[in-house]
Amino acid sequence: MGFSAFVRTFISSSQVCVQRAVGVRAACEEMKTTVLRLLQQPPAGPLSPSAGKHDGLHILNSTVKALKDGQVVAVPTDTIYGLACLAQNSEAIKRVYNIKGRNGNKPLAICVGEIQDIYKYCKVVVKEELLEDLLPGPVTLVLERSETLNADLNPFTKLVGVRIPDHPFMRRLCQVCDEPLALTSANVSTQASTVAVHEFEDLWPSLSVVVDGGPIGDQSRLGSTVVDLSVPGRYQIIRSGCAFSATVAALEKKYGLLEDSSS
């Protein structure tokens, strides 16, 4: 994974335990939130490649454990920071809505690690080549959900948005979890999307793990382009996002899809 880590463990007394070594958690009682910082190693840095992999593995395993325990975590993506939980865990989904203060009628997307995973949880009516052209990348594809997906996730619609972020940590996280993550932006609803962890620090006490991947390269805060591909031969842009032009060009020029302008 090529990362070293910096760990901060926050406890209810608001004191902070700081560690540079990753192998052992801070010996803090009443631990509340663990901040795991991914740091790119310099080419000639003092840490060996094996040390970087060890640190990355610690961060990955800590995040996976929190998710498997039904907790909500904050993670970097290729567009903005997100809040994630296991999509198949109904109680965890409720926590996400409560943390964000999100309207219960607004859906959550899912995030998977591989193209083939999409077929498990969605009914795909486009060519696999199209999926491979758009994903991994800053695009959310809205498809009809399959019966395998948790019925408590977006129970008010037969559709679901699915993402494969072009971010190595996020892809590996999904692969190791081996099930979809429910994913939404790391901010209180109605507030701006975030591109650095300090921007949603008010949410940290409600999170088990915050993975700090540094500032997101794309500072537009537009989030992914959301496109409905649930109708054969048609597409509908739900949100323009940061990849609008490239997405529309691929859908129309390469695959001959027609825009569905109906509401």
Residue 37, domain member (yes or no): no
Mean pLDDT (whole number) for 103-114: 96
Written as one string, the DSSP assignment of 86-101 is ETT-HHHHHHHHHHHT
Residue 62, domain member (yes or no): yes
| Segments forming the whole domain that contains residue 156 | 53-225
pLDDT band at 7 (very low <50, low <70, confident <90, very high): low
pLDDT digits (tens, 9 = 90+) for 65-79: 999 999 999 999 999
For the chain, how many structural domains are there in total? Answer: 1
Residue 263, domain member (yes or no): no
- What pLDDT score does 6 carry? 52
What is the 3-state composition of the chain as percent helix, strand, coil, each rounded to the nearest 5? 30, 25, 45
Tokens 């996400």, residue? 96
Asked if 97 and 206 touch (Cβ cutoff 8 Å), the reply is: no
Residue 23, domain member (yes or no): no
Residue 17, domain member (yes or no): no
pLDDT digits (tens, 9 = 90+) for 166-207: 999 999 999 999 999 999 999 999 999 999 999 999 999 999
Residue 206, domain member (yes or no): yes
- 184's CB contacts (< 8 A; 6+ apart) are 82, 83, 96, 100, 102, 108, 109
CATH number, domain of 210, equals 3.90.870.10
- Centre a 10 Å sphere on the Cβ of residue 27 and count the other Cβ atoms it contains: 9
Tell me the whole-structure pTM to 2 decimals.
0.85
pLDDT digits (tens, 9 = 90+) for 118-170: 999 999 999 999 999 999 999 999 999 999 999 999 999 999 999 999 999 99
- What pLDDT score does 56 carry? 85
Residue 91, domain member (yes or no): yes
Residue 148, domain member (yes or no): yes
pLDDT digits (tens, 9 = 90+) for 11-53: 433 333 333 333 333 333 344 799 999 866 444 444 444 444 5
